[in-house]
Amino acid sequence: MGSAWCRHQFYGRYQRILFVDANIKRYGLYLIRWQLSTPILAAVLYLLAGLGALTATVIANLIGGLIFFWVDRFIFTSRTLATPARWEVREEVRCADCSAIARGYRLVMTKDYDRTNDPAPEFRCEACSKKKSEELKRRGVHH
Protein backbone atom coordinates (compact mmCIF):
# COMPACT_ATOMS: atom_id res chain seq x y z
CA MET A 1 0.00 0.00 0.00
CA GLY A 2 2.27 2.81 -1.22
CA SER A 3 1.45 6.48 -1.33
CA ALA A 4 0.26 6.17 -4.96
CA TRP A 5 -2.42 3.76 -3.82
CA CYS A 6 -3.48 6.12 -1.01
CA ARG A 7 -3.61 9.04 -3.39
CA HIS A 8 -5.71 6.99 -5.78
CA GLN A 9 -8.14 6.11 -2.99
CA PHE A 10 -8.26 9.72 -1.85
CA TYR A 11 -8.98 11.17 -5.30
CA GLY A 12 -11.49 8.42 -6.00
CA ARG A 13 -13.50 9.51 -2.96
CA TYR A 14 -12.91 13.21 -3.53
CA GLN A 15 -14.18 12.99 -7.11
CA ARG A 16 -17.26 11.05 -6.07
CA ILE A 17 -18.25 13.77 -3.61
CA LEU A 18 -17.53 16.78 -5.81
CA PHE A 19 -18.47 15.56 -9.25
CA VAL A 20 -22.02 16.65 -10.02
CA ASP A 21 -23.25 15.06 -13.20
CA ALA A 22 -24.70 18.28 -14.62
CA ASN A 23 -24.99 17.15 -18.21
CA ILE A 24 -26.89 18.83 -21.04
CA LYS A 25 -30.03 16.67 -20.50
CA ARG A 26 -30.29 17.70 -16.85
CA TYR A 27 -29.58 21.31 -17.71
CA GLY A 28 -32.26 21.35 -20.44
CA LEU A 29 -34.85 19.78 -18.16
CA TYR A 30 -33.98 22.23 -15.41
CA LEU A 31 -34.57 25.19 -17.75
CA ILE A 32 -37.93 23.70 -18.83
CA ARG A 33 -38.83 23.14 -15.17
CA TRP A 34 -38.28 26.87 -14.52
CA GLN A 35 -40.67 27.69 -17.34
CA LEU A 36 -43.26 25.30 -15.85
CA SER A 37 -42.97 26.92 -12.47
CA THR A 38 -43.95 30.27 -13.97
CA PRO A 39 -47.63 29.48 -14.86
CA ILE A 40 -48.12 27.54 -11.60
CA LEU A 41 -46.86 30.44 -9.49
CA ALA A 42 -48.80 32.94 -11.62
CA ALA A 43 -52.05 30.94 -11.16
CA VAL A 44 -51.55 30.75 -7.38
CA LEU A 45 -50.85 34.48 -7.23
CA TYR A 46 -54.01 35.14 -9.27
CA LEU A 47 -56.20 32.90 -7.08
CA LEU A 48 -54.82 34.29 -3.82
CA ALA A 49 -54.70 37.93 -4.94
CA GLY A 50 -57.26 38.78 -2.27
CA LEU A 51 -54.73 37.93 0.48
CA GLY A 52 -52.36 40.69 -0.59
CA ALA A 53 -49.23 40.48 -2.72
CA LEU A 54 -46.81 39.48 0.05
CA THR A 55 -48.95 36.69 1.56
CA ALA A 56 -49.87 35.38 -1.89
CA THR A 57 -46.20 35.30 -2.91
CA VAL A 58 -45.19 33.47 0.28
CA ILE A 59 -47.91 30.84 -0.30
CA ALA A 60 -47.09 30.57 -4.03
CA ASN A 61 -43.41 29.96 -3.23
CA LEU A 62 -44.36 27.41 -0.58
CA ILE A 63 -46.50 25.51 -3.12
CA GLY A 64 -43.74 25.81 -5.72
CA GLY A 65 -41.19 24.47 -3.23
CA LEU A 66 -43.40 21.50 -2.31
CA ILE A 67 -43.74 20.53 -5.98
CA PHE A 68 -40.35 21.41 -7.39
CA PHE A 69 -38.27 19.89 -4.61
CA TRP A 70 -39.28 16.50 -6.03
CA VAL A 71 -38.95 17.56 -9.66
CA ASP A 72 -35.47 18.99 -9.02
CA ARG A 73 -34.44 15.93 -7.04
CA PHE A 74 -35.42 13.77 -9.99
CA ILE A 75 -33.57 16.02 -12.44
CA PHE A 76 -30.34 15.93 -10.43
CA THR A 77 -30.31 12.35 -9.22
CA SER A 78 -32.10 10.24 -11.82
CA ARG A 79 -29.90 7.46 -13.18
CA THR A 80 -31.94 7.64 -16.42
CA LEU A 81 -30.45 11.09 -17.04
CA ALA A 82 -26.91 10.03 -16.16
CA THR A 83 -24.04 10.63 -18.56
CA PRO A 84 -23.37 7.34 -20.37
CA ALA A 85 -20.05 5.65 -19.58
CA ARG A 86 -17.27 6.19 -22.11
CA TRP A 87 -14.80 3.43 -22.92
CA GLU A 88 -11.63 3.51 -24.93
CA VAL A 89 -10.60 0.43 -26.89
CA ARG A 90 -7.09 -0.06 -28.24
CA GLU A 91 -5.66 -2.92 -30.27
CA GLU A 92 -2.47 -4.77 -29.32
CA VAL A 93 -1.83 -3.26 -25.90
CA ARG A 94 -0.35 -4.83 -22.79
CA CYS A 95 -2.94 -5.68 -20.13
CA ALA A 96 -2.16 -3.81 -16.90
CA ASP A 97 -3.07 -6.87 -14.81
CA CYS A 98 -2.01 -10.05 -16.61
CA SER A 99 0.49 -8.49 -19.10
CA ALA A 100 -1.06 -10.28 -22.07
CA ILE A 101 -0.92 -8.43 -25.40
CA ALA A 102 -4.51 -8.14 -26.54
CA ARG A 103 -7.28 -5.77 -27.40
CA GLY A 104 -7.42 -3.48 -24.37
CA TYR A 105 -10.31 -1.71 -22.73
CA ARG A 106 -10.24 1.32 -20.46
CA LEU A 107 -13.10 3.09 -18.71
CA VAL A 108 -12.56 6.77 -19.51
CA MET A 109 -15.49 8.48 -17.90
CA THR A 110 -18.64 7.82 -15.94
CA LYS A 111 -20.81 9.95 -13.72
CA ASP A 112 -18.32 9.84 -10.87
CA TYR A 113 -15.06 8.83 -12.52
CA ASP A 114 -13.00 10.80 -15.00
CA ARG A 115 -9.70 9.50 -16.42
CA THR A 116 -9.78 11.54 -19.64
CA ASN A 117 -6.37 13.10 -18.99
CA ASP A 118 -4.78 10.11 -17.27
CA PRO A 119 -1.01 10.46 -17.99
CA ALA A 120 -0.54 6.69 -17.75
CA PRO A 121 -3.77 5.10 -18.95
CA GLU A 122 -4.20 1.44 -18.00
CA PHE A 123 -5.76 -0.86 -20.53
CA ARG A 124 -6.95 -4.34 -19.66
CA CYS A 125 -7.73 -7.43 -21.69
CA GLU A 126 -11.38 -8.46 -21.83
CA ALA A 127 -11.19 -10.89 -18.89
CA CYS A 128 -9.25 -8.51 -16.59
CA SER A 129 -11.43 -5.60 -17.68
CA LYS A 130 -14.53 -7.50 -16.51
CA LYS A 131 -12.89 -8.18 -13.15
CA LYS A 132 -11.87 -4.52 -12.75
CA SER A 133 -15.38 -3.45 -13.76
CA GLU A 134 -16.88 -5.56 -10.94
CA GLU A 135 -14.39 -4.05 -8.49
CA LEU A 136 -15.35 -0.49 -9.52
CA LYS A 137 -19.05 -1.32 -9.14
CA ARG A 138 -18.38 -2.61 -5.62
CA ARG A 139 -16.60 0.69 -4.86
CA GLY A 140 -19.70 2.56 -6.01
CA VAL A 141 -18.46 3.76 -9.41
CA HIS A 142 -21.49 3.14 -11.59
CA HIS A 143 -20.95 2.45 -15.27
The SS3 assignment for 120 reads coil
Is 128 among the residues that bind Zn ion (CB under 5 A)? yes
Is 95 among the residues that bind Zn ion (CB under 5 A)? yes
Is 125 among the residues that bind Zn ion (CB under 5 A)? yes
Nearer to Zn ion, 115 or 132 (CB): 132
Give the type of residue at 79.
R
Nearer to Zn ion, 9 or 99 (CB): 99
Nearest approach in angstroms of CB 97 to Zn ion is: 5
Which residues are 125's β-sheet partners? none
- Measured CA to CA, the distance from residue 74 to residue 64 in angstroms comes to 15
Residues with Cβ within 8 Å of residue 122, at least 6 apart in sequence: 96, 106
By CB under 5 A, name the binding residues for Zn ion.
95, 97-98, 125, 128
